[in-house]
Each structure stands twice: as structure tokens, then as C-alpha cells.
């Protein structure tokens, strides 16, 4: 695999020629350059897996969460790798909406993320002295992942994010109105993911949802809580935003697209995720 250099210039014929031997190219660059590079690479007959948001809202582009949408077509030219918050939210909610185990509206989602999920642009609120021992909401009402989540769920969502004083990991909590008992909602998820080794559905929420369980892995951990007095049920999902929310999901999509074993190159599925206290560095080498 060859890196794309000088991504802010238009792709030249010489630059594209350097990729002629590639069956597919993964782009992890901003939206604007990703569009230009995708067009140029596709014109040269080269597949593009795009980790930017440039193609995630297009009907004709395969949206790459394999557990939910399967493998890309072999003749597809582009695959859109989903965002990190949408991945966690959709893994928890999409099977429930498909089974009509929850109402389509209202759906409210609170997402908590480490600072690596907030982008790499330097900001005052990402300084160590501002975030250490602190947490606060950000981009309320304007988060870029709201349209992506709503589109692929097929229903409007209220989505709020907050920063945690950690580097990586995401925990989303969705509040939904069940059409069945909370136990039936749980069983729907357990049945849907029964043959998916990289998705763990806990019997109940607890410390097993801690991000320290999943950091460094491709695992998603999901749980369902009891209904509260208002009749809403919380659905939880935890992932590593840099792995399942980006790199390892991209690798899985490429494997499926190119006819390779789906999980080639991934860390092994977590053998056990329970409601014990997450170890501080469970998955990192």
C-alpha cells in the first residue's frame, strides 16, 4: 500500500499512475480532496474506500458496516467507511428498527468520546488543562454525524456529544420507545448478532460497557437497560473510535470487497467481555 502525499493539490496523472498496480486505495483525507482523488482514481479503474464523509450520504454508494449492510458489490467503484459515532449508534439501533422492536421516533442519542474523536485541529477546549478532570458537550445541534445517523437509521434523531478526558473510545446511549418488553428488545439484538464474533451483547448494562474493554480492538459491546418511569429504554454501544470506528472497519470492508477472509489482519475477537470492571489497558500492547 502506498501513501497519498500532498493531498491538498489536485491529483495529477503522474500521481494516479503511481497507483496503477493497486486494486483499491483507502483514502483517509478531508472531504474535498477525497472527492477529487476518488474521481481520478475511479477514472483509472481503481476502487476507492473513503474514510472521509464525502460519500456517506449518497444512495448509490455502499455504506460499510458489514454486520448491517453486508459486503460491497465486487463491481462497486466506491465504498464509504462510516463515521465512528454512526457506527456505534447504528450497531445498537438499526436491528431494532428493522425488527420494529422500537418506535421510529423519538430517538435521542448521547455520545461520549475521547479527544481523538473530536478531530486533530488544535482547539482551546482540547488542551490538557481544559479537559483533564472535566467533561462537557460540544457541537450541540451542529455535529457533522447527525445527517449520517438519521439517513442510515431512516428516522430523525436528537444527537448530543460530549468530550471525556481520555484519548480514545466511544460510549453511546440511545433512549428509545420499545414496542415490546425490554427483554424482547435485548433478545432481538442477541439473535441478530448471534453469529457475529466482533459484537458482544451483554445480558445487562454495567462496567462491561467501559471503553477500556474495547480500546485497541474491533469489538463492539452492546447492552439494553430496563424501561424507566417515562417508558423509554436505554440502548448502549461501546467501540474504539480509531479501530471499529475507522481503521479496522476499513480493513474489514476491503477484505470483503476484494474477496479476502472478512477478518484477515484484525485482532482476535475478545474472548470475554462481562460486567467486571474494565482493566486500564486491556487491549493495547
The per-residue pLDDT for 47 is 97
Please report the pLDDT score of residue 11 as a whole number: 86
CB neighbour list of residue 103: distance below 8 Å, 6 or more residues apart: 176, 177, 178, 179
Helix H or strand E encompassing 271: none
CA 274 from centroid of its chain's CA atoms = 22
| Cα 172 off chain centre by | 11
Map residue 62 onto helix, strand or coil: strand
What is the pLDDT confidence band of residue 106, given thresholds at 50, 70 and 90?
confident
Q: How many Cα atoms within 13 Å fall on the side-chain side of residue 168?
A: 19
pLDDT of residue 279: 60
For the cut 80, the answer to whether the pLDDT of residue 256 exceeds it is yes
* Average pLDDT, integer, range 235-250: 97
* Structural domains of the chain, with CATH: 13-82+245-257 (3.40.50.720), 84-243 (3.30.360.10)
The pLDDT of residue 137 = 79
Peptide bond into 170 cis (omega under 30): no
CA distance 165 to 210: 14
How many whole angstroms separate alpha carbon 109 and alpha carbon 89? 8
Active site residues: 84
Number of H helices and E strands in the chain, helices first, is 8, 11
Higher pLDDT, 123 or 157: 157
Q: Kindly list the strands in the beta sheet with 108-113, ordered across the sheet, starting from the edge strand earlier in the chain.
A: 136-138, 158-163, 108-113, 170-176, 233-239, 220-224, 199-201
Q: What is the mean pLDDT of the chain?
A: 90
pLDDT digits (tens, 9 = 90+) for 5-46: 555 567 888 889 989 999 999 999 999 999 999 999 999 999
pLDDT in the model for residue 278 = 64
Residue tagged 450520504 (cell numbers):
57
Does residue 83 carry a pLDDT above 50? yes
Indicate if the pLDDT at residue 281 is higher than 60. Answer: no
| Pairwise CA distance, residues 64 & 113, whole Å | 21
Each residue of 148-202: pLDDT tens digit? Answer: 999 999 999 999 999 899 889 999 999 999 999 999 999 999 999 999 999 999 9
Residue 229 in this model has a pLDDT that exceeds 90: no
Q: What percent of the chain has pLDDT over 90?
A: 71
Q: With cut-offs at 50, 70 and 90, classify the pLDDT of residue 285.
A: very low
Contacts 24+ apart (CB under 8 A), 30-35: 33/7, 33/8
pTM of the complete model = 0.91
Amino acid at each position: 500500500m502506498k501513501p497519498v502525499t500532498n493531498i491538498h493539490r489536485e491529483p495529477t496523472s503522474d500521481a494516479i499512475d503511481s497507483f496503477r498496480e493497486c486494486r483499491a486505495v483507502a483514502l483517509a483525507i478531508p472531504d474535498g480532496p477525497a472527492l477529487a482523488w476518488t474521481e481520478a482514481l475511479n477514472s483509472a479503474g481503481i476502487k476507492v474506500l473513503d474514510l472521509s464523509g464525502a460519500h456517506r450520504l449518497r444512495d448509490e454508494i455502499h455504506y460499510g458496516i458489514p454486520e448491517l449492510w453486508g459486503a460491497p458489490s465486487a463491481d462497486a467503484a466506491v465504498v464509504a467507511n462510516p463515521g465512528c459515532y454512526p457506527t456505534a449508534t447504528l450497531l445498537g439501533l438499526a436491528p431494532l428498527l428493522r425488527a420494529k422492536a422500537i418506535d421510529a421516533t423519538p430517538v435521542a442519542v448521547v455520545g461520549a468520546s475521547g479527544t481523538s474523536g473530536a478531530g486533530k485541529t488544535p482547539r482551546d477546549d482540547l488542551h490538557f488543562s481544559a479537559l483533564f478532570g472535566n467533561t462537557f458537550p460540544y457541537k450541540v445541534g451542529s455535529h457533522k454525524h447527525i445527517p449520517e445517523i438519521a439517513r442510515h437509521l431512516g428516522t430523525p434523531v436528537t444527537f448530543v456529544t460530549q468530550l471525556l478526558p481520555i484519548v480514545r473510545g466511544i460510549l453511546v446511549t440511545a433512549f428509545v420507545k420499545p414496542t415490546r418488553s425490554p427483554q424482547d428488545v435485548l433478545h432481538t439484538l442477541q439473535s441478530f448478532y448471534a453469529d457475529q464474533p466482533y459484537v458482544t451483547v451483554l445480558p445487562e448494562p454495567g462496567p462491561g460497557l467501559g471503553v477500556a474493554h474495547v480500546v485497541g480492538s474491533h469489538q463492539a459491546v452492546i447492552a439494553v437497560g430496563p424501561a424507566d418511569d417515562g417508558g423509554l429504554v436505554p440502548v448502549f454501544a461501546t467501540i474504539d473510535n480509531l479501530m471499529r470506528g475507522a481503521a479496522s472497519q476499513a480493513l474489514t470492508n476491503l477484505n470483503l470487497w476484494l474477496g479476502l477472509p472478512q477478518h484477515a489482519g484484525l485482532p482476535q475477537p475478545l474472548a470475554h467481555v462481562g460486567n467486571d470492571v474494565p482493566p486500564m489497558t486491556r487491549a493495547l500492547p
